[in-house]
């Protein structure tokens, strides 16, 4: 009889690892009280608790700059006045850099040349500032694994970039004297080293010379940024890394995509906590230059309010880029275990162009609230929606361009379907075992 309690405890521990979707809670969290609604699913026998607020919010130390630092006046002048033109003899395309700061549909202001080369997939983007484009972000990009509820995407990063993803985000953990990409814990889901992942990203960047890619590193263990320099350098990404001319960069300080492409600095690398731009100028502090809407949302209304960094004014928010977190989570409460997993069952609505809880509605609400669209739309399973590529349709609408509709990879629902089955079976086993203890 003593075996059952021990077995139950072991399975509960494994369940916590296997089912966990508390993506960034290892960063350090401030658990808050929430108003919850509890329902019982008589089919599976487990309790589902939904909430109108996030269960936990990462509470790392945010960097606050009281003054700005001009790093390079030379780059400032080049960014502000660039009107360079380049052409490739192989395809006879022309790329024009103008330094335009338009907040709407960009048009060429050059009389000497007309741009014929797309930047990030659209010719209209070439003359727009980096901070004036809405990009789709693959939340937890590396976490692709069948039959794991810790997965967030169906396709690996090369396919993500091929399909139109232009920002990738991921958790990074200090593990076995290196930086690994692990979901919550390296015992739960370990997708290998940061260096290996960045090497793959760099290969794609090298093969696609007219694209600007953004990387958002979640420094889950709050380790020194020095731990990230070797992976960035060894992968070759440092050769493409953009180094701002000013710390921090305000909304209007960013260069145009064509300027970044012409200089070859086409990878923007952000880190959420512990960045030191003075020491590592290519590793940008996220929250002094970008804010985010509520983290790990459970609320299907997806409010477009500032959650991180805390305490910034409306004026400050208006002067920074922002990311709309639109990855809906499901909270599971069983006994004393409280975990979050991606709400895959509603992904076709969550990633849809329209309808309550959709990405399209949130993006439009954000545009209305802040008089400008989000810079980044963070989503799970980007390839799913009310149609393949619906998230890119939303981004195109925010950018006032026409989406080509060419998406996405090879169709597969195995990850999500099997994850839901695995979840139900695990809960059922726990219920049976725990009944012996009552």
Active site residues: 139, 183
- How many Å apart are CA 139 and CA 155, to the nearest integer? 12
66 token code pair = 């009281």
- How many Å apart are CA 347 and CA 64, to the nearest integer? 36
Instruction: Please state the φ and ψ torsions of residue 366, each to the nearest 5 degrees.
Output: -65, -40
**DSSP track, 167-205:** EEEEEEEEETTEEEEESSSTTT-EEEEHHHHHHHHHHHH
Helix (H, G, I), strand (E, B) or coil at 329: strand
- How many Å apart are CA 433 and CA 422, to the nearest integer? 17
76 token code pair = 């400032």
Distance of CA 19 to the CA centre of its chain: 21
Query: Do 265 and 250 contact (CB within 8 A), yes or no?
Result: no
- How many Å apart are CA 79 and CA 102, to the nearest integer? 15
**173: β partners:** 180
Helix (H, G, I), strand (E, B) or coil at 5: helix
Query: Do 327 and 311 contact (CB within 8 A), yes or no?
Result: no
Task: Burial-class residue 293 by CB neighbours within 10 Å (0-12, 13-18, 19+).
Answer: buried
Query: Do 355 and 328 contact (CB within 8 A), yes or no?
Result: no
Residue identified by tokens 């808050």 is 32
Instruction: For Cα atoms 122, 155, 267, give the angle at the middle one, nearest 5 degrees.
Output: 45
CA dihedral sign, ordered 365, 163, 129, 110: negative
């Amino acid at each position: 009889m003593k075996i059952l309690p021990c077995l139950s405890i072991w399975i509960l521990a494994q369940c916590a690892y296997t089912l966990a979707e508390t993506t960034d809670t290892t960063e350090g969290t401030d658990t808050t009280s929430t108003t919850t609604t509890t329902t019982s699913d008589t089919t599976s026998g487990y309790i589902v608790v939904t909430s109108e607020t996030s269960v936990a919010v990462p509470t790392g130390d945010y960097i606050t700059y009281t003054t700005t630092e001009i790093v390079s006046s030379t780059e400032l002048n080049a960014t502000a006045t660039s009107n360079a033109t380049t052409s490739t003899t192989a395809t006879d395309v022309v790329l024009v850099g103008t330094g335009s700061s338009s907040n709407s549909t960009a048009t060429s202001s050059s009389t000497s040349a007309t741009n014929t080369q797309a930047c990030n997939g659209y010719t209209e983007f070439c003359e727009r500032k980096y901070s004036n484009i809405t990009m789709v972000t693959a939340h937890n990009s590396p976490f692709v694994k069948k039959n794991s509820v810790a997965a967030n995407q169906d396709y690996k990063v090369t396919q993500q970039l091929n399909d139109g993803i232009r920002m990738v985000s991921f958790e990074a953990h200090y593990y076995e004297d290196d930086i690994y990409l692990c979901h919550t814990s390296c015992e739960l889901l370990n997708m290998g080293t940061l260096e290996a992942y960045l090497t793959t990203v760099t290969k794609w960047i090298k093969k696609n010379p007219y694209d600007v890619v953004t990387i958002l590193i979640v420094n889950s263990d709050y380790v020194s940024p020095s731990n990230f320099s070797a992976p960035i350098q060894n992968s070759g990404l440092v050769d493409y890394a953009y180094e701002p001319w000013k710390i921090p960069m305000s909304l209007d300080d960013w260069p145009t995509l064509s300027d970044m492409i012409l200089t070859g600095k086409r990878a923007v690398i952000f880190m959420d906590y512990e960045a030191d731009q003075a020491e590592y100028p290519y590793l940008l502090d996220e929250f002094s230059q970008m804010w985010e809407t509520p983290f790990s949302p459970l609320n299907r209304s997806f409010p477009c309010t500032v959650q991180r960094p805390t305490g910034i004014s409306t004026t400050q928010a208006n002067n920074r880029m922002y990311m709309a977190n639109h990855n809906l989570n499901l909270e599971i409460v069983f006994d004393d275990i409280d975990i979050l997993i991606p709400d895959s069952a509603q992904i076709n609505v969550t990633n849809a162009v329209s309808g309550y809880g959709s990405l399209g509605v949130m993006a439009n609400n954000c545009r209305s609230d802040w008089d400008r669209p989000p810079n980044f739309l963070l989503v799970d399973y980007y390839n799913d929606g009310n149609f393949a590529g619906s998230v890119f349709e939303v981004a195109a609408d925010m950018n006032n361009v026409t989406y080509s509709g060419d998406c996405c990879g090879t169709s597969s629902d195995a990850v999500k379907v099997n994850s839901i089955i695995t979840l139900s079976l695990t809960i059922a086993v726990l219920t049976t075992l725990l009944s012996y203890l009552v």
